[in-house]
């Protein structure tokens, strides 16, 4: 009975900490769940190793999805953006505010488009700013009943490199292509003006000056996104992360599943 109450006590404490507003308290709550798992495994097996197995088990939970849904996914090799009507703004209130902030900052609306990735819908509202030499986007993602939005600001330099600042909340599911540099800011930072300032600071930190940037062409923005995706897919084919299925699609290889597992674990540690 004492052992059961000990585990329950840690679980109740973990749940309480996870409801706190402070990010550090929520992280302590996640750690407390691991402590509860350790004692559960130890009391169940009577061994310290059993307790450690209870902790390690959390980090192998992503394999359930990896070996079921993701292993069966077939993704289009040459995906194309299509003009689309954006989904109900009620599902993406932050996206509406971000688009309004982009217009306030002098960005001009270019197009609304999107594509499908094996059941996940991605919608883009694209903007550009000639003085900033930048392209901004609000991206809306829907999969099953899960929906979220994120912002990105992208600049291209004369040497062909891409510099992007984003509050995308997860780790990339494919390896980034050479020449594409990502600056991830906290996902809680959903104010466009702040992200734009972060992008300016990022360019300054890597020594990229405004005169080094290439003027984006609003007529070619969609094509650049498609070309970047094709380049990324080819890079991951060469790296063995994905493989062709022979029907115009690709799937994750065994090496790719291990790569995705590592990305899941990073998200678990970062977003807990």
* Residue-wise pLDDT tens digits, 154-171: 999 999 999 999 999 899
Task: Report CA torsion sign: 183, 185, 189, 195.
Answer: negative
Mean pLDDT over 86-104 rounds to: 81
Q: What is residue 95's predicted lDDT score, i.e. its pLDDT?
A: 80
Q: Hey, what long-range contacts does 217-225 have (CB within 8 A, 24 or more apart)?
A: 218/108, 218/110, 218/128, 221/110, 221/111, 221/126, 221/128, 221/135, 222/81, 222/111, 222/113, 222/126, 224/156, 225/81, 225/124
Kindly write down the DSSP assignment for every residue of 199-222, as one continuous string: HHHHHHHTT--GGGBPPP-GGGHH
189-215 pLDDT tens trace? 888 999 999 999 999 999 999 889 999
Distance of alpha carbon 99 from alpha carbon 31, whole angstroms: 37
C-alpha distance across the termini of the chain, in Å: 30
Number of CB atoms found within 10 A of residue 47's CB: 12
**Sheet strands side by side (includes 134-143):** 82-83, 108-117, 120-129, 134-143, 146-156, 162-166, 180-184
CB atoms within 10 A of CB 224: 15
CA distances from 227 to 107, 123, 129, 222, 247 (A): 23, 17, 21, 9, 20
Q: Is the pLDDT of residue 82 over 80?
A: yes
Which comes out higher in pLDDT, residue 161 or 94?
Answer: 161
Residue whose tokens read 């505010």: 97
Residue with tokens 């996870």: 18
Query: What does the pLDDT look like over 100-138, one tens digit per residue?
Result: 999 999 999 999 999 998 878 899 999 999 999 999 999
Q: Which of 138, 129, 140 is nearest to 104 (CA)?
A: 129
Place of tokens 């994905």: 242
pLDDT digit string, tens, across residues 230-251: 999 999 999 999 999 999 999 9
Q: Measured between alpha carbons, how far is 29 from 10 in angstroms, rounded to an integer?
A: 9
Sheet holding 75-76, edge to edge: 75-76, 249-252, 242-244
Q: In the prediction, which pLDDT does 7 show?
A: 76
Whole-model pTM?
0.84
Q: Is the pLDDT of residue 49 over 80?
A: yes
Predicted confidence (pLDDT) at residue 1 exceeds the cutoff of 80: no
Predicted local confidence at residue 10, as pLDDT: 77
Higher pLDDT, 261 or 2: 261
Helix (H, G, I), strand (E, B) or coil at 250: strand
Q: How confident is the model at residue 271 (pLDDT cuts 50, 70, 90)?
A: low
Domain locations in the chain? Answer: 2-60, 75-271
């Amino acid at each position: 009975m004492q052992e059961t109450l000990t585990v329950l006590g840690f679980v109740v404490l973990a749940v309480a900490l996870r409801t706190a507003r402070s990010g550090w308290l929520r992280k302590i709550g996640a750690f407390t769940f691991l402590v509860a798992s350790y004692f559960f495994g130890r009391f169940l097996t009577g061994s310290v190793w059993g307790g450690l197995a209870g902790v390690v088990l959390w980090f192998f939970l992503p394999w359930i999805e990896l070996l079921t849904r993701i292993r069966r996914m077939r993704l289009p090799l040459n995906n194309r953006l299509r003009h689309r009507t954006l989904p109900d703004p009620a599902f993406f209130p932050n996206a509406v505010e971000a688009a309004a902030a982009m217009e306030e900052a002098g960005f001009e609306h270019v197009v609304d488009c999107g594509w499908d990735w094996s059941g996940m819908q991605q919608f883009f509202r694209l903007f550009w700013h000639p003085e900033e030499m930048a392209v901004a986007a609000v991206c809306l993602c829907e999969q099953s009943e899960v929906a979220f939005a994120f912002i990105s600001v992208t600049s291209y330099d004369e040497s062909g490199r891409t510099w992007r600042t984003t509050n995308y909340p997860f780790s990339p599911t494919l390896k980034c292509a050479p020449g594409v540099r990502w600056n991830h800011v906290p996902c809680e930072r959903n104010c466009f003006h702040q992200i734009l300032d972060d992008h300016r600071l990022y360019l300054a930190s890597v020594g990229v000056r405004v005169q080094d940037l290439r003027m984006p062409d609003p007529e070619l923005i969609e094509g650049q996104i498609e070309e970047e995706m094709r380049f990324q897919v080819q890079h991951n084919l060469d790296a063995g992360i994905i493989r062709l299925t022979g029907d115009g699609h690709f799937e994750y290889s065994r090496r790719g599943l291990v790569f995705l597992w590592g990305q899941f674990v990073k998200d678990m540690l970062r977003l807990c």
